[in-house]
Amino acid sequence: MLQVWTAIGLLVFYLANSVTSLENGLARTPPMGWLAWERFRCNTDCKNDPENCISENLFRTMADIVVSEGYAAAGYEYVNVDDCWLEKERNQYGQLVADKTRFPRGMRSLSDYIHSKGLKFGIYEDYGNYTCAGYPGVLGYLQTDADTFASWDVDYVKLDGCYAHPSEMDQGYPEFGFHLNRTGRPMIYSCSWPVYQIYAGMQPNFTSIIQHCNVWRNFDDIQDSWASVESIIDYYGNNQDVIVPNAGPGHWNDPDMLIIGNFGLSYEQSKTQMAIWAILAAPLLMSVDLRTIRPEYKAILQNRKIIAVDQDPLGIQGRRIYKHKGIEIWSRPITPLYQNYFSYAIAFVNRRTDGTPSDVAVTLKELGLTSPTGYRVDDLYEDVDYGVLSPQTKIKVKVNPSGVVILRADVQSDYNRRVPYYSTTQKSPYNPLNQVFRVRNNGF
């Protein structure tokens, strides 16, 4: 008798076939939270702009809103400080000191406040002499700074790579990670190690990166523009054969922050970023002013159906499986499984700008969805239930310019009694990953 696999069984199946990860027990799904950098940058002018400067008041306010406006309930749990929180000099004991004017109560007090809200606290530093904005880096103080972060009850450490030699990162990043783990304080470790080596023309050692980091950057910093988001989507699609195998529970590729609700993306483009980040199994770190965000953008960020795709326990990063004349299709295997068939999240992306929606029609079989039991298909933005469809069913979607349609197709366990499916060409055992992850350059 056929049996549906449990979520635990699926994880065992996948992890047994994946690269060993950093086993600090953290980031089993991509981290979610709020991060200051893209929206607030290095604004230190609290005299003239007290509401928007990098200060303890900003982070306390955002923590309050993350809880009161439903973001925490949707899964966003980290409130992360980025650059420009420091004094320009360490104290007499060589320890990092928060800016005394903008963080008068210190970082332990801020950490305690964020924890009192049921949230987690993240902080920023740099593996170099200085941070990118010119504040003290960790170089020469690795153990001291790791101990300091632990004493502040930090939960998430982002380590940048300015003012450091990329050739020294293979040793330096693991060394700092060792000191973090040695404190006994569980801290997600977010690295910028690969991107600086890529910039320097080096080939990153992803086997080592996976073993020492929970999260890492591969590409450019995101900017508040659709062009920036498109460049990241292209990078991940064009380099997916190298990038995708490195992702999994405990270790994630990071395409950078969500800029939804700021100035540079339209409503359709914002929906596209959220959908593609979910397909990529990306950390969901909002960088937006939560005090002024419009309701329609808040709804995108809190779309629990898309968040569930991002947080799928299998942790398999999706791929671009089709690209032709401005139309792209991205696919991600997700739970539940039945026999050896995955469920899928499928994103249809319209990269055209010709001003009219584009129709895309394709059968489930052409997408690699070939279970004879069929799939229950739902539109995750429009709340449309297509019902249970067979692999031969042709589905047609209308995708707005620079927009997306994202569907979830859950494999069924007993639909085969009503929908016969016979394959006359499939001679070898079905492998869903091989079937769906074929890049197609022509129309269906």
Render 256-307 in DSSP notation, one character per residue: --B-TTSSS--HHHHHHHHHHHHHTT--EEE-S-TTT--HHHHHHHT-HHHH
How many residues in the chain?
444
The DSSP 8-state label assigned to residue 322 in this structure reads E
Instruction: Say which of 83, 126, 160, 310 is annotated catalytic.
Output: 160
CB 345 within 8 A of CB 372: no
Q: Which contiguous run of DSSP H or E holds residue 338?
A: strand 327-338
Residue 323 phi, psi dihedral angles, 5° rounding: -150, 115
Alpha-carbon distances of 296 from 128, 216, 292, 302, 394, rounded to whole Å: 40, 30, 12, 10, 31
**3-state DSSP call for residue 8?**
helix
CB 155 within 8 A of CB 186: yes
Render 360-420 in DSSP notation, one character per residue: EEEETGGGT---TT-EEEEETTTTEEEEEE-TT-EEEEEE-TT-EEEEEEEEPSSGGGTS-
How far is 434 from 321, CA to CA, in rounded Å?
A: 11
Instruction: Say which of 147, 153, 221, 378 is annotated catalytic.
Output: 221
221 is catalytic: yes
Active site residues: 160, 221
